[in-house]
Amino acid sequence: MDYDGDLFLSKENVERYNFSLNSVKLHNEKWLDRVVLTCNITSIRPWLEQLGWFDYLCSSHPIYPRIVKLFYANLEKSSNCVAKSFILGVAIEITPELIGETLGIPCTGITHFNDIEKSDALEICLERPNVNPIMTVTSSHLPIATCILLLLVTNTLLPREGSHTLPSKRDLKLIACIKNGTLVNLPTLLSTIFFQDQITSIILCS
């Protein structure tokens, strides 16, 4: 064996770690702290509290970059919502229920946005009726509270690479759900991110 079997399950995983993941940097803090959430943008607090996400968004825990990268290097491909990996000789499974328990957030609600029309989401996000559904929305179009939600969505709730001022259709639909009180199963949505071609942990890799 020409690789460390205590760290990796295959040589392919070693190469993934060395060439795809090793150069990625992780930051150790939430993009918005409790002071910002409670003092400067109190209008969004009720939205987050009714979904049970406020305390999670205000929490801060140490991030261990090497552990995170080993998790993704050994992550098995899967078609379900169970993330199976191998870290420091230990096989692990992360389920939506475990994510919910660990983060202290509910594991109930919708698990996809297929039933939400983009036009409806746009009206909620822009806070005006009769919005052109094909318009390109940027953060400059959004009310200030909605802009803060966009930052929370793209950096923490459902982190992704790319521009955080140009919301995706998924971003807009999640923001609409937050604003109108639709229960969203965030642990299940997070578990689907595990299998995307990017490192996304509880904190966005950047």
| More confident: 164 or 87 | 87
Write out 37-48 in H/E/C secondary structure: HHHHCHHHHHHH
Q: Determine the angle formed by the axes of helices 96-103 and 186-193, rounding to 10 degrees.
A: 120
* Mean pLDDT, residues 24-39: 55
Share of the chain above pLDDT 70, in %: 82
Same domain, 116 and 94: no
* Mean pLDDT, residues 143-163: 83
Is residue 39 assigned to a domain? no
pLDDT class of 105 with cuts at 50, 70, 90: very high
Q: Is the pLDDT of residue 73 over 50?
A: yes
What pLDDT does 22 receive? 64
Same domain, 103 and 125: no
Which tens digit of pLDDT belongs to each residue from 11-25? 888 887 787 666 555
Q: Is the pLDDT of residue 201 over 50?
A: no
Same domain, 137 and 179: yes
Which pair of tokens denotes residue 76? 């098995």
Same domain, 95 and 197: yes
Backbone angles phi, psi at 124, to 5 degrees: -70, -45
Same domain, 80 and 123: no
* Mean pLDDT, residues 72-81: 83
What pLDDT does 203 receive? 41
Give the residue numbers spanning the domain of 137: 47-53+109-184
Same domain, 204 and 160: no
Same domain, 2 and 22: yes
Triad 144, 52, 147: Cα angle to 5°: 15
**Domain count for the chain:** 2
Say how far apart CA 18 and CA 91 lie, in whole Å.
21
Distance of alpha carbon 174 from the chain centroid: 11
Strand ranges inside the chain, DSSP E: 83-87, 90-94
* Nearest-10 Cα torsion for 128, 131, 135, 140: -10
* Mean pLDDT, residues 32-55: 76
| N- to C-terminal Cα separation, the chain | 33
Which tens digit of pLDDT belongs to each residue from 106-145? 999 999 999 999 999 999 999 999 888 888 898 889 998 8
pTM: 0.80
Triad 68, 73, 79: Cα angle to 5°: 100
Q: Is the pLDDT of residue 30 over 90?
A: no
Q: Are the C-beta atoms of residues 110 and 185 closer than 8 Å to each other?
A: yes
What does the radius of gyration of the chain's CA atoms come to, in whole angstroms? Answer: 18
Integer CA distances (angstroms), 35 to 14, 58, 186, in order? 41, 9, 23
Q: Is the pLDDT of residue 26 over 60?
A: no
Say how far apart CA 8 and CA 17 lie, in whole Å.
9
Is residue 58 assigned to a domain? no
Same domain, 175 and 81: no
Max mean pLDDT among 63-67, 73-77, 163-167, 191-195 falls in 73-77
Same domain, 200 and 179: no
* Distant-in-sequence, close-in-space partners of 112: CB < 8 Å, separation ≥ 6: none
Burial annotation 8-20 (CB, 10 A radius, 16+ → b, else e): bbeeebbebbeee
Same domain, 122 and 141: yes
